[in-house]
Structure formats: C-alpha cells, structure tokens
A and B are shown apart, each in its own frame.
Chain A
Amino acid sequence: MSPASRYTTTAIALHWLAALLIFAAFPLGVYAHELALSPLKLKLLSYHKWLGVTLFLLTVARLAWRATHTPPPLPATMPRWQQRAAHGLHHLLYLLLLAIPLSGWLMSSAKGFPVVYLGLVQLPDLVGKNVELAELFKGVHQVLNFGLLALVGLHVAAALKHHFIDRDATLRRMLPFVKEV
C-alpha cells in the first residue's frame, strides 16, 4: 500500500481549528492588553485565556494523533535541508503551542488571578502570587508569542511557495475539501 498523499481528515480539521484559534487568541491578547481596565478588558482577557487552554488541549490531541498516524511524505523533489527545516519548524510550532499557554497560565497564577476555563473549571495555580514572577512570565509569554508570529509567518510563506512557485502538492496535503491527488 502506497503512503497516503494527504493528511487524514482528522489531522486536517485539527490543524485548521488550531490556526483559527491562534488567529483569534493572538490579536485578542494584544488588544485586551492595551485596553484600560474595564469590564470589556476583563471579558476579553478571560476569552483569551479560554482560547489558550483550548489550544493547549488541542495541541496535545494533535500530538497524540500525529504519534499514531504517519503523515504523508514531503515531495521527493524537495532538498534534504528543506525537509529537515520543515520538520524542525513543525516541532518548534508544537513546542510553542504548548509553551505559550503554559507561560500565560503561569503569568495568571503569579498575578493572583486563577484561570477558570470557560468560567466553569478552575485550574490549579502553578505558582503563588508574586509580582516579580508575574512580570517575568509576562515577558516570556510575549517573547514566545512573537516567536510564534515569526514561525507561523515562515510556515505560511513556505506553504505558499510550495503551492504557487514549486507547484507541488505540499499545501494540498493539508487543504480541506481537496480530492486525493
């Protein structure tokens, strides 16, 4: 049996759901951070945290799926350094999708505000209230997010390059509603 040329429907669905959540959580976090203290700010910060928790859980689910399902191969024409770079980038993206929600959770705990997922499930505080630690985790959260922004940019640029310049099937492997090539 030849390897599948496309990701499984589940992998595709989880990937695009993650993309959607990242593109919601990132600007929400930046915007809410800039807002003056108001009910809107408190709401948006909570939504941001809920999205972050969801992304963390989604990433765990994606890793579990990935571990049990072989992804379709990259085009054989692709140079080895590019294949290695693609794998490295994917690993980093997964790492950030775990580390960023964790750093946000740590920041929230250190600020003295527990995370209450969906307003219903209170997560345990990872650290006690501590102003210096809160500032540290805030910095870490920001740096990791700008790292994510850069890596997502690279990820998207590479996908588009494969699709429009190399004209290979790399992006189509992950596109929904596309017939098997």
Chain B
Amino acid sequence: MNPDWPLAKKSMNFRVGAALAAIADYRGQGRSYNLGLPLLPLLLASLAGNAAAVEFNQVQTDKSTLSFGYKQMGVPSDGKFRQFAAAIAFDPAKPAAATTQLEIDLASIDTGSKEGNDEVAGKQWFNVKSFPTAKFVSSSVKPLGGNRYEVAGKLTLKGKTQAVSAPFTVKQEGAVAVFDGGFTLKRLDYAIGEGPWADVGTVANEVQITFHVVAGAAPAKK
C-alpha cells in the first residue's frame, strides 16, 4: 500500500495536477486499482481547453491479451494468441460511437504445447496457410449501464463471416483505459476442427474468447 494515497485523494479535489501526479506515482508502484475512474471528469475537464475530444485509441499491444478457454474430455484447457493488431476508438463521453477492429495472427496461437500448436495450424483447424488471419470489425457499441457495454460486429474466421457480440467493461486506470470482455464462440460455426475433430464429445464446441485490451488516450483522429 502507498501510505500517501489518502492524502493524495484529498488534494485531488483541489488540484488536478497533484492528483494526476499521485496516480502516476501510484501506478509506479505497480498497483492496478481502478483509481482513474473518479478522476475521469477532471481529466476531461483539464483537457477541455483544447476543444478536441479525447478518446482511448492508443492500444498497448504488449499489455493486451487475447485468450481462449475450452474443454476437452471435460478438462478445462486454455491458450492465447500472441500476435494481434487492435484498433480502438473509445470516447467515454460518446461510447455508442466507439469502434474497434481486431486482426489476429492465427499462426501465433499458443495452446500450451508444440504438438497442439502444430495441429491447430493444420487444415482441419485454422488452416493458417489459406486463412492466416481472423478479423473482427465492430458495427455497434451499446451501453449496458455503469461501465458495461456490448460490442457487436462481424467475425471472419477461416473464410466464414458471422455476427458476434461481446459484453465488456471499461475501467480507467490512470492514463489508460482497460477493456475486458469476452464471448462464447461455437467452433463448428467456422469449421474449426473438421474431420474426426468435429466430434464435440472430445473437444467441446463452445470456446470462451476473452480479451483484455489496454489503450492510452489521445485527441480523437478526425
């Protein structure tokens, strides 16, 4: 714990600069508490002078993760994609206007074993030679109340495009916004796991996709 924090919190009401410094200090301690959220109006107010709306659009790929979970023979298993490009434009004042695009390098999958990685790159799974990337393009963002939202859009995977939607939360942590959400994908909708792998009794059809995207703020690009 940072013993200075209660004092910093008090001064926040009077001096934005001091408060921001406190956050910077706080983040320096490696804390990840959601301390930025109460500061958001102040942060925006402090930037209001230069007219341009601030939005979170600087995705920090190294801090963002895209993972998945599934069951095989009833055994919960998980993995992640190491490489993906994410574009986000999220203005807390106009959440419904937010947009996002994700492009996932399917060959960067990490299933936890080399044997597994080689297998899912193959034709019966992702067929990465013919379909190296998956793409998600948002079409709408709907506020669900509080810091909860739902993004809807089209997911293209292995040559098939389907509508998907995912609830997510936005938390401001200092200067960045953290987007956490996920949805359940049915792998057979995209022919992921064909032939003998189509047996959902062994590898379940449901795959839980989880994203954690960290983005910094910048004036809106327009």
- Taking Cβ atoms with an 8 Å cutoff, the residues of A that contact B are 37-40, 42-43, 45-46, 111-116, 119-120, 122, 129
Contacts and interface: CB of A to CB of B under 8 A. Distances in A.
Given A37-B115, A129-B112, A114 B202 contact: no
Contacts of A38: 196-197
9 contacts: A37-B115, A37-B118, A39-B197, A39-B202, A40-B196, A42-B72, A111-B113, A113-B75, A113-B77
A128 to B, nearest CB: 12
A132 B197 CA distance: 29
A122 B73 CA distance: 11
B35 interface: no
Interface of B: 72-78, 112-113, 115-116, 118-119, 196-197, 199, 202-203
B119 A114 contact: no
Given A113-B112, A129-B112, 13 more contacts: A37-B116, A38-B197, A39-B197, A42-B72, A42-B73, A43-B73, A112-B77, A112-B112, A114-B75, A116-B73, A116-B74, A122-B75, A122-B76
Contacts of A115: 75
A112 to B, nearest CB: 5
Contact of A46 (B73, B78, B112): B73
9 closest cross-chain pairs (CB), A and B: A119-B74, A39-B202, A46-B73, A116-B74, A37-B119, A112-B112, A116-B75, A37-B115, A39-B196
